[in-house]
Every structure is written in structure tokens, then in C-alpha cells.
Amino acid sequence: MPLTDPTIIPVELGDRRYPIVIGSGTAVEAGDASGGTLGEHLLGSLGDVSHAVMVYDAAVKDSAAASVQKTLQARVGRVDALEVASGETSKSIDNLGRLWNRLIEVNADRRSVIVAVGGGVVGDLAGFVAATYTRGLRFVQVPTTLLAMVDSSVGGKTGINLPGGKNMVGSFWQPHLVWIDTDFMATLPDREYLSGLAEVIKYGVIEDAEFFAYLEDNMQAIVARDPQSVRHAIACSCQSKARVVADDERETSGRRAILNYGHTFAHAIEATAGYGTMLHGEAVAIGMQMAARLAVALGKCEADLINRQTRLLDNAQLPLVWPQANPEAMIPVMARDKKVAHGKLRFVLPDRIGHVELVGDVPVDQVRFAIDACQ
């Protein structure tokens, strides 16, 4: 099987069903006898599209964005490319307004498709633009960070930040296609890549014990970016996320909350560390360690879970502790967290590898203990 044979994972959302396609070389290698690339083939499936607007991260201008633009030109013809500066601050009202106005200037209409090429920042921003311009355009995610490939590009959460809070506004707006090509992260710095592995490991803990075991056996190859292993890890992660999203598209049943494993702690770490000092995945790694400690302290699971998780995160070269962790600063942040209902502390905690549950009314003392244990 050549590497270019893509893996296809459907996200089962009824009439909003869409495929996640995972491959390598899809922008350069032939997809069919007619000579088009696999990427062109994929975009051909979007239907009646007369215009593409590619929104891309400045960091991938000459790499992924250039490949995608070529593909769009071959398949759609009329293409406009709009650049977004790298970094979280681009998920702003200013950029949203700028992109909306640019869409008018390039005569976008309901037959235009928005194609996001970048990490979660560009995906979230461009997705929100797609959700709202003329009340909704078709949308393709082309993630270029590992985090975006395994997490943000799947599931339809889009949005921007407000000065007063991250991801405070947005829409649920499903893409029509998620086009993942591991080549698109060839230029991704190692620290960003490793950070994305925290979310990969998360899926193993929350709902796929077999995948967790696979990661234990193959983490070295994954860290070395061995193509087959990376693709398998991405595919299993997307499958996990797709399952959870199909169960609870709009976060109404509570099922989707399991994706927040480690995240209540992580958000408090990011907030108290000052946004930007730690990468999100690094905070998630430490947050998962705190959550695991908490689970064991509450008698929810065996101590061996901590051992296995610690070893795996360590093999992924992720941080396991945070010397500056301060319960007195973190707990008030957690009490304000969206996932914490009405002041009571609530956590997603594992009872074994491959299974988590939502635990409410957690005593503050135990939370303090879990944080202290990861200093």
C-alpha cells in the first residue's frame, strides 16, 4: 500500500456528515488515471463550487498554503488567498471584521468555499467566517499542526477570542471536508509537534485503551515522525473525536465534555502561567497528570494508571510537572471555568485507561493535593 492511499474516517452527523481524509503526498501524487492529484480529487467532491477563498497562516505561505492553492487553482479556477498573521491574537474581532470585508471585496457568494490552511487559530477563525458570511458557506479544514489535525479541525467548533475570554464567541459549523496531509506539517517546529501529542495521548486515556497500548509500543517512532506511525496515531485520534462529536454535536448531552480531560487544570495553568509561556499541549500534559492524581486520590482508579500515563507522556517528551503550580492561584480560575457548573468543582476523571467519567462536587482539598503533587 503506497503512503498516498489515504485513510478515510467519516464523521457521522446525518446530513452534515463529512469525511476526514488522512494521507501523505496528496497535493503532488496522482489520485486517478485522469492525472489529477488526490487533493484535486477530494476538492472535486464539494459539488457546485465556483470560487475558493483560502485563508492561511503566514507561517505556511510557501509550504502547505502554496500546495493547497495550486490544488484549488487546478480544481476550482477562481481562488483568492487571504493571509492571517501567526499567533493566538489573530483570533480577534478585528481579524473577523477584516476577513468579512475582504470576502465582499473578492465577491464571495454562496457558491464560494472557504478553505482554512493552518493550525487551530486559522481553522477557528476561518471556520467562524464560513459559518457567518451570508449565513453560511461551505468550509474545508486543511490543518497544518498536529493539534489541529487531531483536535481542532474535527467537530465543528469555530470562533474567536474576546479581550475578556478565550473562545467566547463562535458557532458550531461543520466542515465539508477535513483534508489532512502529514507533509503539511513538515515545517512544524518540534515543540509544537510534541505539544500536539498530549491530545493524542488524551484520546487513549479517555476512550480507547487499545490505542493507548499502541502508543506505548510506538511512541518513539511517532516522536521521530515515522510516517506510518504518525498516520495511524492521527487516524485513531480523529476516530475518537469523531465518535464523541457524533454522539454530542453541540455539547448538549454532556458526552462531549470527556474531551476536556486534563483541561480544567490546563486552563488554570495557562491562565496563571500567563498565556503564551506554555504551549496548550504542554499544559494539557501537566493537567492530565493532575487529573490522574486526583482520580487516584478520590479512589476512582488504580495508581498504575498514573504510572502508565507518566511513562507515555515522558516518552513523548512532554512536561510532567510544573514547579510554579500554585493551588491558591489556580483554584479560583477553575471555579470560573465554563465546565465548572455554578462554583462547584467538576472534573473529567479516568476510572481506568480508556474510560473517564464526569465527577462533580470534588472537595477543594483534594484538588489542592493533586496540584501540589505535580509541582
Ligand X SMILES: NC(=O)c1ccc[n+]([C@@H]2O[C@H](COP(=O)([O-])OP(=O)(O)OC[C@H]3O[C@@H](n4cnc5c(N)ncnc54)[C@H](O)[C@@H]3O)[C@@H](O)[C@H]2O)c1
Residues assigned a catalytic role: 135, 157, 199, 241, 251, 256, 260, 263, 267, 280
SS3 category, 233: helix
Binder of residue 87, out of a copy of itself, ligand X, none (CB less than 5 to 8 A by kind): ligand X
Of the candidate residues 26, 152, 240, 260, the single one contacting ligand X (CB under 6 A)? 152
- Decide: is 242 part of the binding site for ligand X (CB under 6 A): no
Minimum CB distance to ligand X smaller for 59 or for 294: 59
Pair 171, 132: CB distance under 8 Å? yes
Query: Does 282 belong to an annotated binding site?
Result: no
Which residue is nearest to ligand X, using beta carbons? 120
Binding flags for ligand X, 179-198, as an x/- string (CB under 6 A): -----xx-xx---x------
What is the dihedral sign for C-alpha 140, 146, 152, 155?
positive
Residue 64 interaction partner, one of a copy of itself, ligand X, none, beta carbon < 5-8 Å per kind = ligand X
DSSP SS3 for 118:
strand
What's at 141, amino acid-wise?
A: Q
Q: Taking the complex as a whole, how short is the minimal distance between the CB of residue 16 and ligand X, in angstroms?
A: 15
- 118 binds ligand X, rule: CB under 6 A: yes
Q: Are 158 and 131 in contact (CB under 8 A)?
A: yes
147 binds ligand X (CB under 6 A): yes
Measured distance CA(99)–CA(371) in Å, rounded: 41
Contact status: 287 vs ligand X (CB under 6 A): no
Q: Residue 165 binds which one of ligand X, a copy of itself, none, with CB within 5 to 8 A depending on kind?
A: a copy of itself
83, 21 in Cβ contact below 8 A? no
Which H or E element spans position 297? Answer: helix 280-297
Grid coordinates in use for 169? Answer: 464567541
Determine, following the binding rule CB under 6 A, whether residue 251 of this chain makes contact with ligand X: no
Q: Is residue 121 classed as helix, strand or coil in its secondary structure?
A: helix
Size of the site for ligand X (CB under 6 A): 29
Residue 144 binding ligand X, by CB under 6 A: yes
Q: Choosing among a copy of itself, ligand X, none, which partner's interface includes residue 163 (Cβ < 5 to 8 Å by kind)?
A: a copy of itself
- Any known ligand binding at 139? no
Distance in Å, CB of 281 to ligand X, minimum = 7
Cell of 22: 488522512
* Sites of contact with a copy of itself (CB under 8 A): 93, 96-97, 100-101, 104-105, 109-110, 131-136, 157, 159, 162-165, 168-172, 250-251, 338
CB 84 within 8 A of CB 56: yes
Choose which of 57, 80, 181, 208 interacts with ligand X (CB under 6 A): 57
Environment class of 254 (CB within 10 Å of its CB; exposed 0-12, middle 13-18, buried 19+): exposed
Residues written for the chain: 375
Q: Which amino acid is at 261?
A: Y
Q: How many angstroms separate the Cα of 111 from the Cα of each of 53, 96, 178, 324?
A: 11, 20, 19, 51
Choosing among ligand X, a copy of itself, none, which partner's interface includes residue 187 (Cβ < 5 to 8 Å by kind)? ligand X
Confirm or reject binding of residue 262 to ligand X (CB under 6 A). no
Binder of residue 188, out of ligand X, a copy of itself, none (CB less than 5 to 8 A by kind):
ligand X
- State the Rg of the chain over Cα: 20
Helix (H) or strand (E) holding 56: strand 51-57
Shorter beta-carbon distance to a copy of itself: residue 165 or 332:
165
* CA dist., res. 105 & res. 365, Å (int): 57
Cα–Cα distance for residue pair 49/111, rounded to 1 Å: 5
Residues in region 265-284 near ligand X by CB under 6 A: 280
**CB–CB of 312/219 below 8 Å?**
yes
User: Which residues are known binding-site members for Zn(2+)?
Assistant: 199, 263, 280
Interface contacts to ligand X, rule CB under 6 A: 57, 59-60, 64, 86-88, 91, 118-122, 124, 144-145, 147-148, 151-152, 155, 157, 167, 184-185, 187-188, 192, 280
User: Which residues are known binding-site members for NAD(+)?
Assistant: 86-91, 120-124, 144-145, 157, 166, 184-187
